[in-house]
Structure 1
Amino acid sequence: MSESSQRRLPRGRYALSREEVERIQRSRLCAAMAEVMAEKGYVATSVADVLQRSGVSRQSFYQVFESKLDCFMAAFDTAGDLLIQRLLEMVGADEHGVPGPAMAGDPLQRFEMAFTAYLEALAIEPAYTRLFLIEVYAAGSEAMGRRSELQAAITASFADLMGVTDEAGRFACQMVVAATSTLVTKAVADNDLEGLRAIGPPVIDHVRTLWRAGAFGPQDGRPGSS
């Protein structure tokens, strides 16, 4: 169930602080933005569409956001937070992001578990995933800049997960993340969630091949290098 259809504010007086009311409205507006754009695309989505889907008034919208783009950027950040939250839950990490015992294997085992969880996290939140991967291209340079920053953070996390520290290995991680982005974007654009999940095995096998070929840099003493 989407957040836009959850927890309607009661009519009349209610015992909520202004900050709590704004938080609930922001959450509903972000969810509505993602839902409507999944159906109509960024360009065709209007503030009126978001208001109708969320049940929030126009006055309240402009108390929270300056524009449609401002709402989109907040929804984009929500999409990233949701993805990370789902991913941490699936790999058994705690609230501080510390991986659980299941992630204590060798680098290739860790990658397989994390990548499978990543694809499942994308499939669980299709509206936010579409916003995150596709509609961001239509939202302009500010949104694309935010996407580039997030992709760089994902690349760094991937390298850390694999224990890669040298420049050549980090570049290999960057290429894997960029290629994965292209593959998952097509599946999401086609609304093919099974196709999205099916990306996992061939990518995992390819990363294994690259790892054993030394594409991620020196592997002496690392588990899984033989």
Structure 2
Amino acid sequence: MSESSPRRLPRGRSALSPEEVERIQRSRLCAAMAEVMAEKGYVATSVADVLQRSGVSRQSFYQVFDSKLDCFMAAFDVARDLLVQHLLEMIGAGADGRPAAMGTGDAMDRFEQGFTAYLEALAIELPYTRLFLIEVYAAGPEAIRRRADLQNMITDTLADMLGARDDAGRFTCRMIVAATSTLVTNAVADNDLDALRAIGPPLVRNVRTLWAAGAFGRRPVSDAGA
């Protein structure tokens, strides 16, 4: 279980408020959902599996969630928030909550730093990573839509980082995000953290090539002095 996993409630009468008890139980159930699905997949994971892993009672589960899918969607939101949290911690956040490094230095250096941090964040939270990269497609249309929204958010962040000013530049960003999704999904499916981290250098090299060619709405380097 990752360092982000919640603590267990003390035995006996608790001094915690009902709201705090529910928050802790929700966190435990989301962590258990991610961990069990990493082992069994969404379809084979049952509510009973989640209860056994989390130590939460069935009655408490249905006080927090309506169904397995409801629990999955909550775990997906946790996965998204953890990814953003780790990225901000690794890159450093400005007053507006955006990575401070995005506003300074060479764009390609910022991209390399951000992309390396992204891969490391995926590795740190591997069960949650598997949940939103792989198991999301077995959970149905709403889960897939939420996955698409997350991918669009990442595309927007990349476009801001690289200063993509036109439709062609933003489409290039979409291609990079889609290619990254495929590459990291294969590594995560194999639980291969070395392969996951190894994606960084060749992808960064190719993005640098696209940058030099003006693929983000910039003039090519050869035209810069014209």
Q: Under a length normalisation based on structure 1, what TM-score does the superposition of the two structures give?
A: 0.93
User: Alpha-carbon deviations, 1:113-153, whole Å to 9, x = none?
Assistant: 00000000001111001101001011111100100011011
**Structure 2 runs not aligned, ≥5 long:** none
Is contact 2:30-2:74 (8 Å) kept?
Answer: yes
Per the alignment, residue 68 of structure 2 pairs with 68
Per-residue displacement from partner, 1:135-194 (whole Å, max 9, x unpaired)?
A: 101111110010001101110011001111211100110010001000000000011100
In the alignment of these two chains, the number of paired residues is: 223
SS at match of 2:146: helix
Partner amino acid, structure 2, of 1:62: Y
The answer as to 2:184 corresponding to 1:174 is no
Relative to structure 1, the CA distance from residue 88 to residue 117 in structure 2 (aligned partners, 3 Å threshold; closer, same or farther) is: same
Distance 1:25 1:95, change over 3 A: farther
Aligned partner of 2:145 in structure 1 is 145
1:33 aligns with 2:23: no
The 5-angstrom pairing of residues 2-41 of structure 1 reads: 2=2, 6-41=6-41
Give the 3 Å change call, closer, same or farther, for CA 44–3 of structure 1 in structure 2.
Answer: farther
Give the secondary structure class of the aligned counterpart of 1:215. Answer: coil
Structural RMSD (CA) = 2.0
Q: For residues 95 and 187 of structure 1, what CA distance do their matches in structure 2 show?
A: 34
7 and 71 in structure 1: CA distance in 2 versus 1, 3 angstrom threshold? same
Q: Give the aligned residue type for 2:41.
A: G
CA–CA distance in structure 2, aligned partners of residues 144 and 45 of structure 1: 18
The percent identity for this pair of structures is 74
Q: Name structure 1 gaps, 5 residues minimum.
A: none
After superposition, the C-alpha distances for 1:2-51 in whole angstroms (9 at most, x for unaligned) are 37964211222211111111100000000000000000000000000000
The question of whether the paired residues in 2 share the 8 Å contact of 1:28 and 1:54 is answered with yes
Aligned 1:64-103 pairs, distance under 5 A = 64-94=64-94, 96-100=96-100
Counterpart Cα distance in 1 of 2:109 and 2:35: 35
Secondary structure of 1:165's partner?
Answer: coil
Q: CA distance change for structure 1 residues 77 and 95 in 2, over 3 Å: closer, same or farther?
A: farther
Question: d(CA) in 1 for partners of 2:35 and 2:74?
Answer: 14
Structure 1 runs (4+) greater than 6 angstroms displaced: none
**SS of aligned partner of 1:196:** helix
Aligned residues of 2:6 and 2:27 also touching (Cα < 8 A): no
Q: What is the alpha-carbon distance in structure 1 between the residues aligned to residue 202 and residue 50 of structure 2?
A: 38
Moved more, 189-198 or 92-101: 92-101
